[in-house]
Amino acid sequence: MAIEWNDVDAILEEFYDPRKATTDSRRYFLNAPTQTFDAWLAEYEWASRRDLTREVVDGEVVTLGFDGSRARKKGVTDATALIGCRVADGHVFQIQVWEQPTGPAGEDWQVPVAEVDAAVDNAFARYDVVGFYADPAKWESYVAKWESAYGKRLQAKVTREHPIEFWMVGGHALRTVRALEQFHSAVLDDGLTHDGGYQLSRHVLNARRRPTRAGLTVAKENPDSPRKIDAAIAAVLAFQARTDAIAHGVLDVVEEMWVPRRIR
């Protein structure tokens, strides 16, 4: 009598389990080299969604995401990032990222808050912004200013009272977990593209999976690591704002007038 050493169906079921990280499946079942075991997204997964032919032009309907920082201990300052997402097709694009330079140039460096504020104003002037989600940590006064200036024109709102203020920590763990999960699923399921922005891509690949009681979140490899993830968080916020804008019917209007534009 033949002995069945392995349950093939069970192995396949575990391999294709959507709850399992793709890097784990490649590592344990295919003996394939992967990146850091706790990486949020593998390099090949993120690279597969890069589309350098798509162009976002002035006047298009977009959403924005913002994650900012100020000075940290030991002279290590997190980055500040402003990322956009086109509503029509979910194309994520880097607007601007501010990072502390390495070496002597980075000594006593501080985030140029006036420049950041001007970049937000410029984004609203250039595009038809229908949603803007910003993690207000250490930027509370600026988020309040942006809400006062632009809150009424937004169709996607975090809350009626605070349409832009989207806390990623604290008592909003479930909301954060859902936003991260939707972005991650969109990457794996061809639900978004991105412009291959250098800082954005680097920050996405720096993000590490961190399980919590609320679900899976992300963080830097350690609190004082120079490997930033702020642009990744800003991209998640921009994509979540797009999701909420679509829920409010924005996409129905956009599709009637949108013509895809590609860089030739």
Over residues 188-237, the pLDDT tens digits come to 999 999 999 999 999 999 999 999 999 999 999 988 888 999 999 999 99
Residue 54 has pLDDT above 80, yes or no: yes
Q: pLDDT-based confidence at 253, cuts 50/70/90? A: confident
Average pLDDT, the chain: 87
Q: pLDDT-based confidence at 116, cuts 50/70/90? A: very high
d(CA 250, CA 119): 24
Whole-model pTM: value is 0.84
What pLDDT score was predicted for residue 74? Answer: 60
Residue 18 has pLDDT above 60, yes or no: no
What pLDDT score was predicted for residue 24? Answer: 54
Pairing of strands 61-67, 128-135: parallel
Q: Tell me which of 210 and 27 has the higher pLDDT.
A: 210
pLDDT over 90 for what percent of the chain?
A: 66
User: What angle, rounded to 10 degrees, do the helices at 22-29 and 8-15 form?
Assistant: 140
Over residues 72-108, the pLDDT tens digits come to 556 667 899 999 999 999 999 999 999 988 888 777 7
Residue 178 has pLDDT above 60, yes or no: yes
Residue 28 has pLDDT above 70, yes or no: no
On whether the CB atoms of residues 155 and 248 are closer than 8 A, the answer is: yes
d(CA 261, CA 187): 21
Pull the structure tokens for residue 190.
């061809």
What pLDDT score was predicted for residue 12? Answer: 61
Is the alpha carbon torsion for 48, 51, 56, 61 positive or negative? negative
Spell out a b/e string for 228-255, using b for 16 or more CB atoms within 10 Å of the CB, else e.
bbbbbbbbbbbbbbbbbbbeeebbeebe
d(CA 247, CA 155): 10
What pLDDT score was predicted for residue 6? Answer: 52
What pLDDT score was predicted for residue 41? Answer: 97
Count of beta carbons in the 10 Å neighbourhood of residue 150: 18
Which of 1.10.3470, 3.30.310, 3.30.70, 3.30.420 would CATH assign to domain 52-257? 3.30.420
Instruction: Tell me the CB-side half-sphere exposure of residue 90, using CA atoms within 13 A.
Output: 18
Residue 261 has pLDDT above 50, yes or no: yes
